[in-house]
Structure 1
Amino acid sequence: MAKNFFQDMIKMKSDLRKEREGNVAPTSAPAVETPPSSADEGTWPPTVASKVTRRISLAPAQDQGRRPWYSIWLVAGISLVFLFFAISFLFSEAFITINPKVKDVTFNQNLSANETPAEGNLSFDVVVLSGEESKTVEGGEMKNVSVAARGTVLIYNNYSSAIQRLDINTRLEGSNGKLYKTEKAVVVPGLNGTTPGSVEVGIYAAEAGEAYNSPPLDFQIFGFKGMPKYNKFYARSKGEITGGFIGKQSVITEAKKSIIQNEMKETLKAKLAKKAADLVPAGFVMFKDAVILNVDSVNFETLEGGQLQVNLKGTFSGIIFNESELIKKIIKSGIPDYDNSDVYISNFQDLNFVLLDTKGNSSSPSSVDFNLSGKPKVVWRVDTDRLVAEVVGKSKKDFYQILAQYPNVESANVLLRPFWKRGFPGDKSDIKVTVNYPQ
């Protein structure tokens, strides 16, 4: 029996060892043996209880209330994509910069313009201003002088459509009962429909002295008295008749008088030209040399101390032309293949204007002949509204195909914002166009 007892014990231990080796739990889950029940106490050999093994994880238990990390990153990525497109939509802009077509042409022609032109001919208008310039100069020797009063008149022909020639020193009878004479021979144009013909001429008093100085007067031609023409030809003075004087006066040479008068005339012309430029309506041009200043009167008055006060009055006439009519004349000569596109000339004032002749009243002529020369710069206008309408919502790669339909564009470039955008905004107001027109 003893032999069998020890053999059984050895066998049991061997079996237990094998069983333990075959059921070794991972280090993270150590096995816990369950003790034998009380029913086995006091028996020998002891009954080997069935072995129960528990695995206890040492890793932290997963929090079921939290999302996995990859879910958080997925939501963040979707949010960024949404934000990206939102910014692209809200702040999308396009900036188009255009250089228009420009061509320099050579032009040199004698032209005529009429107040009431036939179709296809040039027209013109006149800006008329009056002004006065004063200056004090050193006088000369005091002498007894006799000076006739002077002024300017407009003589009208309301008699017939035929012209009327008047000789130098034609006598005009003023409404003050005094006689004045014309400074030169003139031709008075005939009636134009119901509009009397008119011509401007200087006059001087038949006698010297202050008695002939006068405010504006009406006149009849003394030589027509008793004839049908007497009431149909008449004259009206432009401004006052002044300068009549008898007595001692500081005297300067005629050459010095002429120099003083010319200087004052140019000064007054420049002042009135500046004022007239502000009165030129849109669509018209007044060349800097398309101006006339008629001197209405010049008075030299002796001051105490022998100095002279010089007063010059004049009437300024600025001839203005319709830009569109001039452009047609210039383009017809300089651009034979012109296709009637919308163009303008950016450097009108750089052209050379020479007034050759005027017909009618010099301060308000009925026609003018002139020469115009230089290198006008013809600029093609760009229809930016049409361009915006054609590119809105389009891909950037389509832009230059659309631009090919605009022969009036020399070059252009596009800037899209944000920088990753590859197309134009869908709203016209987000597309800005700048055209670099020459100044």
Structure 2
Amino acid sequence: MAKDYFQDITPPGGGGPIRPSTPGPDQGAPTPPPQDHDEAQSVPIHITEVPDAEPEPVTGMGAVSDPSIRGIRNISAPTRIRPRLDPDVRAMPGVGLGGLPPKPRQRFSRLWIWALAALSLLVLGSLFLFIFRSTKVTVTPKSEVATLTGTSPLIARAAEGESSDVLTYTVQMSDLEDSEVVPVQGTTHVETKASGSITVYNSYSASPVRLVKNTRFEGQGGLIFRAPADVVVPGRSGTNPGSINITVVADEAGEKYNIPPTARFTLPGLRSTAAMYSGVYAKSSAAMVGGFSGDRPGAAPGALESAVAQVRSRLEAKARESALAQAGDNATIFPELVAISYQTLPNTTEAGGGVRIHEKAHIEIPVFPSESLAHAIAESAGINADMPVIFKPGDDFAVQVASTTPRLGQALTFSVSGSGLVVWKVDAGALSEALMGRSSDAFQGIVNGFPSVQEAHARIEPFWKSTFPAKASDIKIILVEPEAAR
């Protein structure tokens, strides 16, 4: 292996720095070409000691002051000359290096492809929606304006279900509570009676059972609660007993009447008739509350009445909102007919020294079947409604109650005044079935067979077809509000 003679070369006679040697006479001769043999050759190394001298300043890139001194560190690299393009070739538009045309701009080409694809999808989607959209039939129901004077009162009968012969109603009951804080002023002696809601059942007879005012209900421990008004308990239906929810009040004041929910109340007044005594009973699902007898922090009389009035006003507004929330397409509710009764609950002491008064509102909401009520109003206005109709009240429509607080089992008499619109109900399903698969020429004749339709227009899709779709689900019936109701 040939040695690397440039490593660890130490000049003889000392460790001074190695200076570049002066080329000898043989160094200028050309180097003979290498010969093919395996023998190692001796490479002479000439070392000439040169006295230390100050380095000459370099005057140019890679220049040395003494041209006779050469070495690895002072050999200047030759300057590379960059090839220059022919100016005639660079000036020619559309010609690249080597005379080849330039590469196409692929980015803009791809953008155009994506744009065309998106446009194609948009066109195809629009065409699909246009061809396959549903056939539409626009129907204006028959209607007639009803003018009501209020001279012909309406009478509604309480019933469990709906009847097509007479106007019926049911009563929805609920309770609301609210409170207000008033300043304390002395003490006052308070005696209040507990009260609560119970459900009275009638499994004794299929006929209603009437209970008079102050009927006694006996709970646990022999405590007596009384009904504040007459009650009519509906008769049983098969094996299901008739039932009604009422509010009862304790016979005396005191906290002992604040009893928990009771599984069974008996009626002592029916004890003489064993079958009736066991068949008419009551249950409670909530505790009786409000019973108290003793001294409590009081308030100024004027402040107390004012606070009670404010609380009851808020309860009334909540009761009206609750009544309207129960209305729907098949149920009609008149806020004017809602009955509200109030009960003052015991006051409580606040941590800050005030007294909080509590009020409870018992709400009874008459609910009418919309179709039966519309028929009754139409008859009151002299309109012959021989088919199902609905009633749309006008802005001047008003209701006034003519009877006492409505209770289940009693007739409710009220009057209506103002104006409204009686609208005939259209059976959209029957109309779709009558039109499916039929020619457009038969459209008017088919529509004339529906007396509840005042006017109708059809648009068959796709436009080149002249027959209605074979499926009723592909025919969309759109009901338009009559002009008089707008």
The TM tier, using the shorter chain, reads: 0.5 to 0.7
Paired residues for 1:133-152 under 5 Å? 133-152=177-196
Task: Find the counterpart in structure 1 of residue 366 from structure 2.
Answer: 319
Q: Could you say what secondary structure the match of 1:141 adopts?
A: coil
Task: Find the counterpart in structure 1 of residue 144 from structure 2.
Answer: 103
2:260 aligned residue (215, 219, 222): 215
Instruction: Map Cα deviations across residues 318-348 of structure 1 (whole Å, 9 max, x no partner).
Output: 221222322332333435554x344333449
Which structure features the higher share of strand residues?
Answer: 1
Task: Find the counterpart in structure 1 of residue 399 from structure 2.
Answer: 353
Question: In the alignment, is residue 247 of structure 1 matched against residue 313 of structure 2?
Answer: no
Change in CA separation of 1:424 and 1:135 when aligned onto 2, cut-off 3 Å: same
**Contact 2:137 2:478 survives alignment (8 Å):** yes
Structure 1 position 259, deviation (Å): 0.6
Change in CA separation of 1:206 and 1:315 when aligned onto 2, cut-off 3 Å: closer
Paired residues for 1:254-333 under 5 Å? 255-270=305-320, 272-273=322-323, 276-277=326-327, 283-295=330-342, 298-333=345-380
Change in CA separation of 1:295 and 1:400 when aligned onto 2, cut-off 3 Å: same
Task: Find the counterpart in structure 1 of residue 249 from structure 2.
Answer: 203
Structure 1 position 105, deviation (Å): 1.0
Change in CA separation of 1:401 and 1:422 when aligned onto 2, cut-off 3 Å: farther
Structure 1 position 141, deviation (Å): 0.8
Tell me the amino acid that sits aligned with residue 379 of structure 1. Answer: V
How far apart are the structure 1 equivalents of 2:131 and 2:321? 55
Structure 1 position 292, deviation (Å): 2.8
Structure 1 position 399, deviation (Å): 4.5
How far apart are the structure 1 equivalents of 2:391 and 2:382? 13
Change in CA separation of 1:154 and 1:94 when aligned onto 2, cut-off 3 Å: closer
Question: In the alignment, is residue 128 of structure 1 matched against residue 173 of structure 2?
Answer: yes
Moved more, 189-198 or 316-325: 189-198
Q: Could you say what secondary structure the match of 1:105 adopts?
A: strand
**Contact 1:358 1:365 survives alignment (8 Å):** no
- Scaled by the length of structure 2, the TM-score of the pair is 0.53
May I ask how many residue pairs the two structures share in their alignment? 336
How far apart are the structure 1 equivalents of 2:346 and 2:479? 55
Tell me the amino acid that sits aligned with residue 154 of structure 2. Answer: L
Tell me the amino acid that sits aligned with residue 252 of structure 2. Answer: A
How far apart are the structure 1 equivalents of 2:255 and 2:346? 12
Task: Find the counterpart in structure 2 of residue 386 from structure 1.
Answer: 431
**Contact 1:112 1:370 survives alignment (8 Å):** yes
Question: In the alignment, is residue 372 of structure 1 matched against residue 416 of structure 2?
Answer: yes
**Contact 1:157 1:189 survives alignment (8 Å):** no
Instruction: Map Cα deviations across residues 163-216 of structure 1 (whole Å, 9 max, x no partner).
Output: 77667xx99876345677x697x5566996898998956635635x54554435
**Contact 1:315 1:363 survives alignment (8 Å):** no
**Contact 2:178 2:311 survives alignment (8 Å):** no
Paired residues for 1:27-46 under 5 Å? none
Percent identity among equivalent residues? 21
Change in CA separation of 1:291 and 1:261 when aligned onto 2, cut-off 3 Å: same
Change in CA separation of 1:197 and 1:113 when aligned onto 2, cut-off 3 Å: same
Structure 1 position 369, deviation (Å): 2.4
Change in CA separation of 1:285 and 1:251 when aligned onto 2, cut-off 3 Å: same
Task: Find the counterpart in structure 2 of residue 115 from structure 1.
Answer: 158
Change in CA separation of 1:138 and 1:112 when aligned onto 2, cut-off 3 Å: same
Tell me the amino acid that sits aligned with residue 423 of structure 1. Answer: S
Change in CA separation of 1:333 and 1:228 when aligned onto 2, cut-off 3 Å: closer
Q: Could you say what secondary structure the match of 2:323 adopts?
A: helix
**Contact 2:143 2:423 survives alignment (8 Å):** yes
Change in CA separation of 1:93 and 1:265 when aligned onto 2, cut-off 3 Å: closer
Q: Could you say what secondary structure the match of 1:137 adopts?
A: strand
RMSD in angstroms over aligned alpha carbons? 4.9
Task: Find the counterpart in structure 2 of residue 36 from structure 1.
Answer: none
Instruction: Map Cα deviations across residues 272-311 of structure 1 (whole Å, 9 max, x no partner).
Output: 435644xx6x633223333333445523212123322233
Tell me the amino acid that sits aligned with residue 289 of structure 2. Answer: I
Task: Find the counterpart in structure 1 of residue 389 from structure 2.
Answer: 343
Change in CA separation of 1:98 and 1:250 when aligned onto 2, cut-off 3 Å: same
Change in CA separation of 1:143 and 1:122 when aligned onto 2, cut-off 3 Å: same
